Every structure is written in C-alpha cells, then in structure tokens.
Amino acid sequence: MLSFHLVESAMRLLQDQSDSVAHFAGDVFEILSKYFPVYFTHGGGNELGVSRDGISRALMVAFCSTPYFEPFAIPLLLDKLTSSLPLAKLDSLKYLNNCIPSYGADRMAKHSKAIWSNLKDVIFSSAQGCFLSTSEFAQDIETEEYQIGKEALNCLQTAILYLTSPDKDLLLNLILDDVDIASKFQVVMSSIDISEECKNHLNALGSIFSVLLKSSTYFCNRVFQKYFPHLMDILGIPASSTSSIVSIDSTTGMNIGALYLCVEILSSCKELTLASREVSKVSPVQETWWHVLKKISDPLSHFFRALLDASSKTVNNRIGQEHVLCGVRGLQVLATFPGHYLPISEDVYRDILSIFMSVITCKYEDAYLWKLSLKALVEIGLSVDKFHDFEKGIIYSRTVVGSIISLLQLDNPTMPLTLKLDAICEIGAVGLDHMSRVVRALEEAIIFNISRACIDGRMELVEIVVALLTCYSSQVLPWLYTHGIFNEIATRFAICIWNEMENLRVPNEKLKDQGFLDSLMRTMKLLVAGCTEEHQSLIVKRAYSIVSSSTSLLVESLPRPFSKIEGVELPPDFLRNEWFVYLFSSVVIALHPQTLLPDVNVLVNLFMGFLLEGHVPPAQALASIVNKWSTNINISECSSVHSLDKAIEVVLERCFSSVLGSSHLRKLNSSDDSEGDTSCLHLLKNDACSKINAVSGLAWIGKGLLMRGHEKLKEITMFLLKCLISSQNIEVMPSHLKESGNCDELDTCFLLAKAAADAFNVIMSDSEVCLNKKFHATVKPLYKQRFFSSLMPVLLSSIKESITLSTNYRMVLYRAFGHVISDAPLAAVVAEAHKIIPTLIDSLAVLSLDAWNKDLMYSLLLVLSGILMDVNGKESIIENIHIIIRLLTQLVSYPHMMLVRETAIQCLIAMSGLPHSRIYPMRPQVLRAVTKALDDKKRAVRREAVRCRQTWASIASRSLHY
C-alpha cells in the first residue's frame, strides 16, 4: 500500500515534466499492473489494520495519478471485464469509472467504442434478478451480479458525461445505432409472454435508457423521440389528447415489455426534471420531450387507469402483478412531476388521486393493488410537500387527506379497521399539516368510542378502541416525537382522556377483561413519558384532582400516621375508583424523576391499599416512586413521609405486617432459630391472597430499590428468603405441631414460598411496562451482577440444607435459584460456574417434574449453553460432564416444550467438542437418546437430532487417532 501511495505522489509531483513521465510511465505501470486485481488473503486481525479494500483503493489512486497511464491502463481494464472472476469484473469497473475523468476526454475518446461494447456486455449479462428491478416499488437483490451491473451503469453514466467530442454525439450515437440494442428491443416488443431471458434483456434496456435520459436534456430528447412514440403505438395509446378513450382487451393481454419501458422512460424524464429544477429554472418549453408528453398525457393517464380497471376484472390472470405495478407507477410518475414541469392538467391530477382513493376504499380485497396505491398516494403527497406546490397541495388535502379521515367517521363495517388505520397513518406521515388533521380525527374517534363502550356497555366497541389506541401509540406518537411536536399534543390528549373518564359512570367489568383498560394504560404511559417535566406536571395535576375527588372516601378514611393503619375501607364504587387508580398509576410510572408529585403521603397510602388487594399497576407505581425519589419531590407539611427512607419504612412495615404478626416481624430479624421454626403458624387473620399480594408487591418495590442501589433492598431480600425457608420449617416440624396447626395456614405458607420464589423473577428480569429507560427509571450500573453475587451464597446454602425435604419444597427453592441466575449477567454466572453447575443440574432435574416450570427450564438451559460456549466455563463443565450429559439425554424427550428439547440437543452437539477421553464413555447413551428424538413431532427437533447423531457418531472414527 505504501508503494502505491509513493507512485501516486511521485506522478503528481512530476506532472509538469511531461516528457520524462511519458518516457517511464510504461515501465511504472507494468509493475503496478502485476497487482491488479488485488488478492489479499490475510484476515481482519492483522496488526497494521490493512484491508483488501484499502489496498485496492490505493492501487486505483495510483492508476489515476497521471494521464500517461492511459495507453496501458484502459486496455488492461477492458480485458479484465471479460474475466470469469466477479471480483476482477467489479474492480475493473470501479477503476475504469475513476480513470475516465482522470485521463480526460481527449485521451479517452478513442476508447469510446471499446468501452461501450464491453459495458454493454456486462450490463446485459448481469441484468438478472427480480423483474422490474429498477422500479421504485421493487427491492434490489444484493448479489454479486447485481453489484457488477450497478457498477457498470455507474461507469456508463460517467462515460456519457466525459466522453464528448466535437459532434457531441459520439457515445450516444454508438448506443442508439447499436445493432444489438435494436435487435433486443424488437425481441422484447414482439411478444406478450416474455421468457426469463427476455426479462433480463428488458431490465438491461430499461437501465441503459434510464442512464441516457437522466444525463441531460439533449440526451433525453434524442432517446425520447426515438423510442417513446413507437412504444405508444405498440400499447395502442392515441398520439393526441383529443382522443383520450382507451380500452384494454384483457383476453389478448398486454405487451409488458412496451409497458415497462414506457414507465421507465417517464420515470427517468421526471428524474431529469428534478435535477434541472435544482440547477436552474429552465422552462420546459425548450424541451421537446416535454411537449410530446404533454400532448399525450391525457390518453396516457386514461390508459394507466384502464389498465388498473382491467387488472381487477380479469379472470384468466393475463394481466398480472407486473401490469398492476406498471399501471400504478405510471399514474404516480405523471402526478409527481415538479412544478411547471407537470405535464397533466389539474383535472387529470385530481382524477389520478381519485383513482387511488377508490382503490383504498373499495378494492381492499386486492392486497397487492391496495398497498401499491397507498404507497403511490404517499409518494405523491411527499412530492407536493417537498416542492411546496400550493395548488396541488389543496387538491391533495381535499381529495386524499379529507377522504382518508372520513373513513374513521363513517361506519363502514366492510372495510377492515386495520386497513383504515394503516392508510390514515401513512397519509398523515406525509406532512405536518396532514398529521395534525389525522391526530385530531384519531383522538375524536378514540374518545367517542370510549364513551360509547363504557356508557352503552357495547362489547363490540372494545376491539375498536383497542385498535385505535394501539395505532395512536405505536405509529402516531413516535412520529410526533421525531418531528418535535409531541408535548402540546400529548398533554392535550392525556388531559382529554382524564376528562372523559371523569364523566363516566361505573364501567362494565367485562371491559377490563377485553384489554380495554390495558390499552388505555399503555397509551397513557407513552403520552406522559414523551413529555417534558413541565407538561408532565400539567397532566399530573389534572389526573390527581380527578383521583382525589373520585376516591374521596378512600382518602378521608386514611389516618395520617400510616404505619398504624390496620385496613382500608374501599368505597362502594370501587370498580370506577380502580380504573382511576390504574390510570393514575400509569401516569406515575412514566414520570421523570424531577417531576413533582402532589401529596406523596396520600399517594403512598392509596397505592398500598390497592397493592394489598392484588392490583399490580399500583404496586408498579409505588416501585417507580421509590426508584425515582429525589429532593425535588413535593411533600406537604402535614405528611408523615419526609424522606425516601421513611417512605420505604412505611411501605415495608405495611407489607411485612400483612404477612406476619407484629411480634413475628421482630422475629424476622432475630437470630433465634427456635422461634423462627413456627413463625408460619402465627399468621394474621387476613386471607392467603392478601399475604401473597403483599409478597408480589414487595417484589416490585424491591426491583425499584435494586435498580437505584438502595440499601433497604436487603430487608426485602431477607424477608423473601424467610418466606422461602419457612416452608422448610414446616417440613421438618414435629408431627404433633403439624397436627395442631391449621391446614389452611400450612397451605398459605407454601403459597407464600412460591410467591417469594417468583418475586425474584420480578426483581431480576427486565420489564416492558415500568422501571425501564423508556419510562425514565433510575438505573445503577451492574445492579444485577451485585445482587447475584450477594444472594447466590445464601441460596446455595439453603438448597444444600434442603436436601432431605420433599420435592415440592425443594422445587420452590430451585425456582428462586433459577430466576436469579437466568437474568444475571452471563459473565457473573461463568465466574461462579464451579459453584453453580451442580445446583443448576439438580434444579433442571427437579423442575422437569412439573410442566409449570417449562419456561424457567428453557431459561436455565440457555444459561447452561452460555457457560458451555464460554472458554472460562468449559472447565467447570468438564468437571461435571457425566451428570450434565445424563440430564441432557433425559431432556431430549421433555414433553412439555419443544424449545427445551431442541436446546438440550444443541448442548449435546456443543459438548461433542470437549476432550475425547471425557465424552467417549457417554457416547452410547447420547446416541440412544437422540435416536428417539429422530421421531419427534417437531421438525426443528428432528433436524437438531440428525446433527447431533452425526456429530457423536463421528467420535468413534476420531478415537482411532488417539
């Protein structure tokens, strides 16, 4: 690479000494040519960071460093274009593309014929791929052939721009008079049903014409005059606007070649006008092609319209998707010429928009045509917005935007709501004014249907409300946020929802089960989360005024010293208040830490009351409060909560006392094991659900504290561990104490233990509904790793001591263990792998006995797989290889989850790479297990079983080398 740079520098320094450079240029290039094309076999990890592309670019710059290389470089590059190696072709095209302007037109003119001949061959040979590959609606296929063809077209464009001569038509005449071009054009024009070879030729012709048309007005006029009238004759389009009636016979078909080239020429002409518009304000009056197009624009637009009509009526599929694509694209191109270049009248422009709108509203059964029409309307709207065309903007707004919005207002049950919403969002995203109208229409539809669903109790409206809210939150809100107009709109709509909810009577309980309330809460979170602190405060104030007035009985029943409260009296209209609390919880969850909260003491009490009734959103809101608590929080003078620590103490005291009596709460922190053995027999008179609710609420609060790194998390963790260990105390309790105890209370202890085990899943896992970055949670780095490191020794010790207990009680401990390591960072787990793996294997064995554990088992297998694939974890795997393989062979037949079976087999495949002496004795056992899996009902499992059997069967042949 350094040598190439030296050549480039030397040639540029000596460019004034033309005689000396010309004398030794051949010798220098002979050396350079030996390195072309560049073959570089070193990997990406070389010390100098040199890549093949970097070397190739340096050599290309050296090639272009002096025009005296032209006699030697151009023949070499043209010769390499005939190479069978794709890399050589691609590099030759790139080098040629850069050498043409570097060597200059005078030197390169004599190569024009050779360049065109070689580029033509490359373009036609690489024009494979999807039909209509150059259209705006087609997707490019990034293959080697595609890249070569693309680079050849770039090179042709460069040659057209630089290879000029006194008559200016040198290269253009070569192309237009080329016999091969003429013959291929006649072939594709002579048949309705085109072969694959003809399609490739058609792609090549369209690409070549497109390059010529977009190069200059002069080139455009020449190509347009030569080909476009002939294409109109083939398609049967009248040459005059006075005769605009066009009929298409769907029984005889349509010449797709002529149709495609017609649309391609129109599109290229439009691209030329866009470039001309940016460079100068040249009037189209001087452009011959524009006069011809304007003259036939009416019959041409009628032809495209007739093509779409025929495509929807045909029954023999003679007019297929290719015809539909050309028809839609033709109308779109005619309607998107900029400003004074527009060849159609306002009436025709309006008709084109009406055609597409008719498809949107009436032909939605044809999904392909519907999607193309919607995309065409979007492109037309973007064109209007880009060029600030006032007249066309008015027509577009009335014809398209107004009609799209009316779809929400009209009760048209035949058109699917999802299509309506897709259309309205796509059209709204065209511009700010359109989106403002769309937002208003969506909001009005949401509020109207919420009112009807809640007041009239019509369950069929729930699905409509959910769909509207989903569309608004997932498509509209992100667009508003991206374009910087989120705050005012979101604040207004959030307050509007609260006002509507305030006027509701007691809602129908079935609405909650249908997902109505969940959708409303999700939308409220996103509305609040995207606002600034100032706008969030406005929403909070309005929401709190409604909640405090609507739940006045609840608020007034709360005495100020919250820690002394024994129960909460819920008002008769609890369901309505529940909705308000749920919605207000969503507001609190989404707040910035700096946003002020009114009457924190009352809110904590309110959320605690609902938490103990088993309501998760209030628990999540309470967790968000303790997670985001800051000095900016607004606390009233009469509040008993003056600090975060005090608030946490209030919450924990309430939760602890709901599970244990006040005297036994003291025993929780005591080291006297003799008292702790019977702690579960001294429960409060509250029912089991209340106790489980308290444990579940503690999980969310613990999650909030863990993420901010607060030390009070330790108390919650110890309490949850106590609930887990208490189940062991019952198991080892003397029989006379068990008989004297209440069976319900014993069952409650076990349910509490299960709830405590699953609490660790809440604490460690990531949440999409709260306590995440989207909702501005306070997150301390490495919080999961620290919690894992501090808790794991305690869990491992408890599991070791529970070896004599029954399977059910051990399963609870294993669930807690599984939740902790499943969500812990893999690096932390691998570091403790030698301690964890034996327990991990035992947990998989025990958890496999109950289908309830299938999701957790899959997560644990992923952890085992991660340890196995880690270099530092393999040593621990080898130490326990026999018990691991024994377990995996059992899980190959696990009946409750396909992913467990598939992952178990994948782990066995990975273990086949471990030391031969350790795995070979287990080979028969593995082969027997995977042979059974060959008959698994799931294809993915059978595929992995085949791989596994082949891998382990090959171990026998490898053993011959030992």
Q: 946-961: per-residue pLDDT in tens? A: 999 999 988 865 554 4
Rounded mean pLDDT, 293-297: 88
Report how far residue 911's alpha carbon sits from residue 311's, in angstroms, rounded to the nearest whole number.
58
Higher pLDDT, 20 or 462: 462
* pLDDT score for 689: 77
Query: For residue 22, how many other CB atoms are within 10 A of its CB?
Result: 13
- The answer to whether the Cα torsion of 604, 609, 519, 428 is positive or negative is negative
**DSSP line for 382-405:** HHHHHHT-HHHHHHHIIIIIHHHH
Rounded mean pLDDT, 280-299: 75
pLDDT tops 80 at residue 401: yes
- Percentages of the chain per state (helix, strand, coil), in multiples of 5: 75, 0, 25
* pLDDT score for 753: 86
List of long-range contacts for 411-419, beta carbons under 8 Å, 24+ apart: 415/361, 415/364, 416/364, 417/463, 417/464, 417/467, 418/467, 419/364, 419/370
pLDDT tops 80 at residue 667: no
Q: Mind listing the pLDDT tens digit for each residue in 725-748? A: 765 544 443 443 344 444 455 567
What integer best gives the mean pLDDT of the chain? 82
Q: Are 257 and 198 in contact (CB under 8 A)?
A: yes
Which helix (H) or strand (E) covers residue 331, if one does?
helix 321-335
Q: Mind listing the pLDDT tens digit for each residue in 407-435? A: 887 666 678 899 999 999 999 999 999 99
Spatial CB neighbours of 401, under 8 Å, sequence gap ≥ 6: 427, 428, 434, 437, 438
Among 413, 431, 417, smallest CA distance to 377 is for 431
Residue type, 224: F
Q: Mind listing the pLDDT tens digit for each residue in 325-337? A: 889 999 999 999 9
Q: Are 396 and 380 in contact (CB under 8 A)?
A: yes
Percent of the chain predicted with pLDDT > 70: 80
Where on the phi/psi map is residue 295: left (φ > 0), alpha (ψ -120 to 50), or beta? alpha
Rounded mean pLDDT, 808-835: 91
Report how far residue 716's alpha carbon sits from residue 728's, in angstroms, rounded to the nearest whole number.
19
Nearest-5° Cα angle at 426, 424 to 431? 100
Report how far residue 314's alpha carbon sits from residue 358's, in angstroms, rounded to the nearest whole number.
18
Q: Is the peptide bond before 37 cis (omega within 30 degrees of 0)?
A: yes
In 679-825, alpha helices (H)? 688-708, 713-731, 735-740, 743-764, 783-801, 807-822
Higher pLDDT, 73 or 6: 73
Where on the phi/psi map is residue 135: left (φ > 0), alpha (ψ -120 to 50), or beta? beta
* pLDDT score for 503: 80
Percent of the chain predicted with pLDDT > 90: 43
pLDDT tops 90 at residue 532: yes
Higher pLDDT, 245 or 560: 245
Report how far residue 741's alpha carbon sits from residue 736's, in angstroms, rounded to the nearest whole number.
9
Residue type, 113: K
Spatial CB neighbours of 412, under 8 Å, sequence gap ≥ 6: none
* pLDDT score for 348: 92
Report how far residue 681's alpha carbon sits from residue 493's, in angstroms, rounded to the nearest whole number.
52
Reading the block at residue 76, the tokens are: 């070499």
**DSSP line for 247-306:** ---TTT---HHHHHHHHHHHHHHHHHHHHHHHH----GGG-HHHHHHHHHHHHHHHHHHH
Report how far residue 50's alpha carbon sits from residue 46's, in angstroms, rounded to the nearest whole number.
7
pLDDT tops 80 at residue 76: yes
Q: Mind listing the pLDDT tens digit for each residue in 864-897? A: 999 999 988 888 999 999 999 999 999 999 999 9
Rounded mean pLDDT, 192-204: 81
- pLDDT tier, 402 (very low <50, low <70, confident <90, very high otherwise): very high
Report how far residue 63's alpha carbon sits from residue 56's, in angstroms, rounded to the nearest whole number.
11
pLDDT tops 60 at residue 684: no
Report how far residue 928's alpha carbon sits from residue 926's, in angstroms, rounded to the nearest whole number.
5
Nearest-5° Cα angle at 456, 454 to 459? 70
Rounded mean pLDDT, 303-308: 87
Spatial CB neighbours of 499, under 8 Å, sequence gap ≥ 6: 542
Report how far residue 275's alpha carbon sits from residue 618's, in angstroms, rounded to the nearest whole number.
59
Residue given tokens 């700010």 in the structure block: 432
Ranges 263-272, 330-339, 355-364, 501-510: which has the least confidence: 501-510
* pLDDT score for 122: 92
Number of residues that make up the chain = 962
Report how far residue 426's alpha carbon sits from residue 399's, in angstroms, rounded to the nearest whole number.
15
Spatial CB neighbours of 52, under 8 Å, sequence gap ≥ 6: 38, 39, 40
* pLDDT score for 559: 37
* pLDDT score for 132: 46
Report how far residue 334's alpha carbon sits from residue 349's, in angstroms, rounded to the nearest whole number.
8
Spatial CB neighbours of 452, under 8 Å, sequence gap ≥ 6: 458, 461
Higher pLDDT, 962 or 764: 764
Where on the phi/psi map is residue 377: left (φ > 0), alpha (ψ -120 to 50), or beta? alpha
Q: Mind listing the pLDDT tens digit for each residue in 451-486? A: 888 766 677 788 889 999 999 999 999 999 999 999
- pLDDT tier, 7 (very low <50, low <70, confident <90, very high otherwise): confident
Give the three-class secondary structure for 114. helix
pLDDT tops 60 at residue 569: no
Q: Are 758 and 815 in contact (CB under 8 A)?
A: yes
* pLDDT score for 376: 95
Report how far residue 562's alpha carbon sits from residue 348's, in angstroms, rounded to the nearest whole number.
74
Q: Are 498 and 521 in contact (CB under 8 A)?
A: no
